[in-house]
A and B are shown apart, each in its own frame.
Chain A
């Protein structure tokens, strides 16, 4: 019988601990247990055999750490071969051979994925793929990915398993006492991602005993339509007279696990500290043949690395600002690869209270595939909101979905056959909630009825790809009411019909409705209110629009979705009551400006970001942009810079001033987008192997302040990339940063390569472990002890060039 059929009708028992038993048999701490498949094959076989006889239906091979990061390719093959053969021998010998399966056990790599670690996502996929392929070759029945404590690594492993072969895949994560993975992921978010990607069973193992894990397990049972796995430890380890003992004994363990089986767990076993005795007790008291019935859960949701966002109850706000359409400054940022600008848009929208960020970086002049992938990776590293991947380029969509850490929202598919055939396979493979536009080859139908018909057709097609209704959200398309007086009415009607007739969620790009009209916010927010009243689940909208946010908060308050109206109250307190604010601002300005030459200088020196931007904006009405830079900002920066060099100003203050200056520059840039830098280019990077970039970022900020055209290659940058960029820009200066003694050799190698390939460039180095002596030794042109010294050096080089 196939295991996937068996679990439909029965409780499935897994095995218990392996490491615990090996250690009592003499495995030393730190010794790799995978070697024992070869050196102690009888013992390993005996352990599997004991588990089968105790009642385990599945045993996992002794391959937890068997991957090519720890073993050579030949060793890996040898180890997995022996491991599978040990399990097979045990199965041959055990009492009842029928319905006994062998799982290829896969644990974490022990490496953290980029950007916070040094293992690239695709490399992680490759590592897992190798192990999976060897396991499949030697004839395992299923893949068991377990003890994963990072959602991103879990995704890499599951993707590898799904891509390597069509075997059943079970995925189990290790949760901490706080009910989250070490990567900060909640059970609901994990369920969303793993179900979306097509795991066959999901659940939890290790870290704690069955009682302590029950909260997490219940979350799994609540959200998952798949069989839920529970494989807890025998409680917590304690040291008694130098020996390690676990505090939950077999009887109690079996009772606790059985209690959760009664609540819906379908697949059970044990982890650290458990032995065949635990499994046999569990088998003894559990009625295997009458599991709680599996039910399909109808939650519509997306997830980030940390949380899930649900649709259908409270309205979901999707921030629309990461999109170049009609935005000069955004287009400029895309062309110059200014990722920080995109990140700032993301952070600002999160602060305004959106639940999801739409990410659209399509621009004819750029490589959208690369840009979308980069934007998604950078956003998900620092923002915990789910993303809506918004592109019409299927390649870009796949690149972004692949790297996305969670279950993404996908924008969009439509009724055209071509769209269905290209987008649905991606939804199926990577998981996701897909936005379906109600248009087809004939365009957008005028009436609501016809749009619903397209929706029905899309649902029909989705079935063919085994995509569930809950994973489709319809956008019945808001059209300009200025062009067609009935446009809004039909859209509103379609929203209601899709909800009532099809039982599906809806989303709208609200602001289209007001196209061509003055004071668009007024129309938008009223339309938004009407759509919400008709049952709209989500809106792609501008969170900077106070009118839209007012509508959202008042709708929630009026519909019993805001306890004690507290969200409404705290929101409304932030809405400026225009008259008083202006008066206050004026008052503070006049008091402070007396001591300084000008308000802008004062703002920069004191590090007042908002004020620097505001004063610059006012100055732009009367003063030339270049004159603001030369007569106001640079002199102010110089005052602070000299103070820093004289040790009267400290680094954090210097940075606050630099930030204020930057916000003034940003304001000028908005007014004059093509205000190209007037100084030479400067390539900056943290060298390969080093992930510390705060120092590098400080130097970059100051260089930008002083007008240098800085290209920041990031951290952990291989020498070849630095050289390539330096040649491409013919950059006269390269700045390299390293924090650790262990990464200084990478710096040396970079300099060596630069000398060879880009002999014209000057290299300035800095970082905690560096000093003049080191810098000389590795052949740098300049050692800069701090950011200001780098600026001074760059100025020297720049004026030498301009002479």
Chain B
């Protein structure tokens, strides 16, 4: 229904085994574990989908208020992230409902596998976001612009409530089958919404370290603790 919202479908990016292990909480891989991780990856391979819907819009900022045109939001962390940006790509990505089905199925017969499917789901959706994000960054770089690390509702002081505005704007249910429930949880669960800030010149660059800017220092999943 909505114009200016684009949909992209990707082929499966390669699996990053180490990331799956990290998300699954596996710190040492015993042989028994290797076997079930392999089985899970095999089973998830043709189940995951890779869909993104997105739109590029201009942004305006005053103090801590960010105006996206479709909505305004107050967040000092987002304002910092978008410092010197005058536009942004707002996107929603999902790895699809079949991963939820697999997790649901295995939580009935093998919670260990269910846990690994959770890990696979987290890794899949991150890979998809990276893929999409890189594409946007490369494109913008060619135009002489910079992009910022993606920022999602719930990061820092950006309220989760902002999900509602993003969903309305991107028409996620129709575009990629992604829905939001009353508690602001997304279904399919392996999904991400985020904002990639874009600025006109090279005075800022993207931070490579995904975890470096996060204030949650005790996070179990933090890279390079």
Chains A and B bind each other: yes
Instruction: Tell me the minimal C-beta distance from A208 to chain B in angstroms.
Output: 10
Instruction: Please tell me if A652 contacts chain B, counting CB pairs below 8 Å.
Output: yes
Contact A382 B174 (CB under 8 A): no
Interface residues of B in 177-201 (CB under 8 A from A): 177, 179, 181-185, 187-189
Contact B6 A117 (CB under 8 A): no
Residues of A within 8 A of B49 (CB): 176, 178, 182
Instruction: Please tell me if B144 contacts chain A, counting CB pairs below 8 Å.
Output: no
Q: A115 vs B187: C-alpha distance in the bound complex, in angstroms?
A: 10
Instruction: Please tell me if B111 contacts chain A, counting CB pairs below 8 Å.
Output: yes
Contact A652 B70 (CB under 8 A): no
Q: Considering the complex, give the chain B residue whose CB is closest to the CB of A64.
A: B1
Q: A111 vs B187: C-alpha distance in the bound complex, in angstroms?
A: 9
Residues of A within 8 A of B56 (CB): 239
Contact B104 A652 (CB under 8 A): no
Contact A30 B111 (CB under 8 A): no
Instruction: Tell me the minimal C-beta distance from B204 to chain A in angstroms.
Output: 23
Contact A694 B107 (CB under 8 A): yes
Residues of B within 8 A of A117 (CB): 179, 181, 187
Contact B176 A182 (CB under 8 A): yes
Select which of A109, A118, A701 is within 8 A of B111 by beta carbon. Answer: A701
Contact B179 A694 (CB under 8 A): no
Interface residues of A in 733-779 (CB under 8 A from B): 739-743, 746
Instruction: Please tell me if B55 contacts chain A, counting CB pairs below 8 Å.
Output: yes
Q: Considering the complex, give the chain B residue whose CB is closest to the CB of A741.
A: B160
Q: A30 vs B188: C-alpha distance in the bound complex, in angstroms?
A: 22
Contact A650 B189 (CB under 8 A): no
Instruction: Please tell me if B152 contacts chain A, counting CB pairs below 8 Å.
Output: no
Contact A650 B115 (CB under 8 A): no
Interface residues of A in 152-171 (CB under 8 A from B): none
Residues of A within 8 A of B184 (CB): 740, 742
Contact A659 B110 (CB under 8 A): yes
Interface residues of A in 173-210 (CB under 8 A from B): 174, 176-178, 182-184, 206-207
Residues of A within 8 A of B32 (CB): 606-608, 656
Instruction: Please tell me if B18 contacts chain A, counting CB pairs below 8 Å.
Output: no
Instruction: Please tell me if A698 contacts chain B, counting CB pairs below 8 Å.
Output: yes
Instruction: Tell me the minimal C-beta distance from B216 to chain A in angstroms.
Output: 12
Q: A698 vs B96: C-alpha distance in the bound complex, in angstroms?
A: 24
Contact A692 B108 (CB under 8 A): no
Q: B49-72 interface mask toward A, CB cutoff 8 Å, 1 = contact, 0 = none?
A: 101000110000000000001110
Instruction: Please tell me if A383 contacts chain B, counting CB pairs below 8 Å.
Output: yes
Q: Considering the complex, give the chain A residue whose CB is closest to the CB of B98.
A: A184
Q: Considering the complex, give the chain A residue whose CB is closest to the CB of B176.
A: A182
Most B Cβ at <10 Å: residue of A115, A382, A658, A739: A382
CB contact under 8 A between A650 and B6, given known A64-B1, A118-B182, A693-B107 = no
Q: A149 vs B51: C-alpha distance in the bound complex, in angstroms?
A: 14
Residues of A within 8 A of B27 (CB): 650
Instruction: Tell me the minimal C-beta distance from A461 to chain B in angstroms.
Output: 39
Interface residues of B in 2-38 (CB under 8 A from A): 2-7, 9, 24-28, 30, 32-33, 36
Q: B64-91 interface mask toward A, CB cutoff 8 Å, 1 = contact, 0 = none?
A: 0000011100000000000000000000
Instruction: Please tell me if A366 contacts chain B, counting CB pairs below 8 Å.
Output: no
Residues of B within 8 A of A239 (CB): 4, 6, 56
Instruction: Tell me the minimal C-beta distance from A603 to chain B in angstroms.
Output: 11
Instruction: Please tell me if A150 contacts chain B, counting CB pairs below 8 Å.
Output: yes
Contact B111 A655 (CB under 8 A): yes
Contact A149 B174 (CB under 8 A): yes
CB contact under 8 A between A111 and B181, given known A20-B3, A147-B174 = yes
Q: A221 vs B3: C-alpha distance in the bound complex, in angstroms?
A: 30
Q: Considering the complex, give the chain B residue whose CB is closest to the CB of A18.
A: B1
Select which of B24, B101, B116 is within 8 A of A381 by beta carbon. Answer: B101
Q: A28 vs B174: C-alpha distance in the bound complex, in angstroms?
A: 17
Q: A19 vs B33: C-alpha distance in the bound complex, in angstroms?
A: 51
Instruction: Tell me the minimal C-beta distance from A59 to chain B in angstroms.
Output: 16
Q: Considering the complex, give the chain B residue whose CB is closest to the CB of A688.
A: B183
Contact A29 B25 (CB under 8 A): no
Residues of B within 8 A of A739 (CB): 185
Most B Cβ at <10 Å: residue of A607, A697, A698: A697
CB contact under 8 A between A244 and B179, given known A659-B110, A694-B115 = no
Q: B91-123 interface mask toward A, CB cutoff 8 Å, 1 = contact, 0 = none?
A: 000001110110111011111101110100000
CB contact under 8 A between A33 and B97, given known A118-B182, A650-B28 = no
Residues of A within 8 A of B176 (CB): 182
Instruction: Tell me the minimal C-beta distance from A738 to chain B in angstroms.
Output: 9
Instruction: Please tell me if B169 contacts chain A, counting CB pairs below 8 Å.
Output: yes
Most A Cβ at <10 Å: residue of B9, B33, B185: B185
Q: A686-702 interface mask toward B, CB cutoff 8 Å, 1 = contact, 0 = none?
A: 00011111100110010
Residues of B within 8 A of A344 (CB): 108-109
Contact B97 A118 (CB under 8 A): no
Instruction: Please tell me if B165 contacts chain A, counting CB pairs below 8 Å.
Output: yes
Q: B148-176 interface mask toward A, CB cutoff 8 Å, 1 = contact, 0 = none?
A: 00000000000010000101110001101
Contact A382 B179 (CB under 8 A): no
Q: Considering the complex, give the chain A residue whose CB is closest to the CB of B188.
A: A116
CB contact under 8 A between A110 and B182, given known A115-B104, A651-B115 = no
Q: Considering the complex, give the chain A residue whose CB is closest to the CB of B168.
A: A30
Q: A207 vs B25: C-alpha distance in the bound complex, in angstroms?
A: 39
Select which of A33, A343, A653 is within 8 A of B108 by beta carbon. Answer: A343
Instruction: Tell me the minimal C-beta distance from A270 to chain B in angstroms.
Output: 13
Contact B55 A29 (CB under 8 A): yes
Q: A184 vs B96: C-alpha distance in the bound complex, in angstroms?
A: 9
Select which of B1, B3, B26, B112 is within 8 A of A244 by beta carbon. Answer: B3
Select which of B98, B112, B165, B179 is within 8 A of A655 by beta carbon. Answer: B112
Residues of A within 8 A of B109 (CB): 340, 343-344, 347
Q: A24 vs B26: C-alpha distance in the bound complex, in angstroms?
A: 53
Contact A650 B182 (CB under 8 A): no
Residues of B within 8 A of A382 (CB): 101, 104-105, 108
Instruction: Please tell me if A324 contacts chain B, counting CB pairs below 8 Å.
Output: no
Residues of A within 8 A of B5 (CB): 29, 237
Contact B70 A33 (CB under 8 A): no
Instruction: Tell me the minimal C-beta distance from B129 to chain A in angstroms.
Output: 19
Instruction: Please tell me if A638 contacts chain B, counting CB pairs below 8 Å.
Output: no
Contact A742 B26 (CB under 8 A): no
Instruction: Tell me the minimal C-beta distance from B95 to chain A in angstroms.
Output: 12
Instruction: Please tell me if A23 contacts chain B, counting CB pairs below 8 Å.
Output: yes
Contact B70 A29 (CB under 8 A): yes
Residues of B within 8 A of A30 (CB): 70-71, 165, 168-169
Residues of A within 8 A of B105 (CB): 343, 347, 382-383
Q: A184 vs B46: C-alpha distance in the bound complex, in angstroms?
A: 12
Instruction: Please tell me if A112 contacts chain B, counting CB pairs below 8 Å.
Output: yes
Instruction: Please tell me if A108 contacts chain B, counting CB pairs below 8 Å.
Output: yes
Contact A742 B3 (CB under 8 A): no
Q: A184 vs B48: C-alpha distance in the bound complex, in angstroms?
A: 11
Residues of B within 8 A of A656 (CB): 32-33, 36, 112
Q: A694 vs B25: C-alpha distance in the bound complex, in angstroms?
A: 14
Instruction: Please tell me if A719 contacts chain B, counting CB pairs below 8 Å.
Output: no
Chosen A-B contacts, 8 in total, with CB atoms closer than 8 Å, are A109-B173, A111-B181, A117-B179, A340-B109, A650-B28, A652-B112, A653-B33, A740-B183
Which 10 pairs between the two chains have the least Cβ-Cβ distance? A182-B177, A689-B183, A382-B105, A655-B112, A19-B1, A118-B181, A112-B179, A110-B173, A30-B169, A30-B70
A112-B179, A182-B176 given; 11 more Cβ-contact pairs under 8 Å: A29-B69, A147-B1, A207-B7, A237-B3, A340-B109, A607-B112, A650-B25, A694-B111, A694-B118, A698-B115, A740-B185
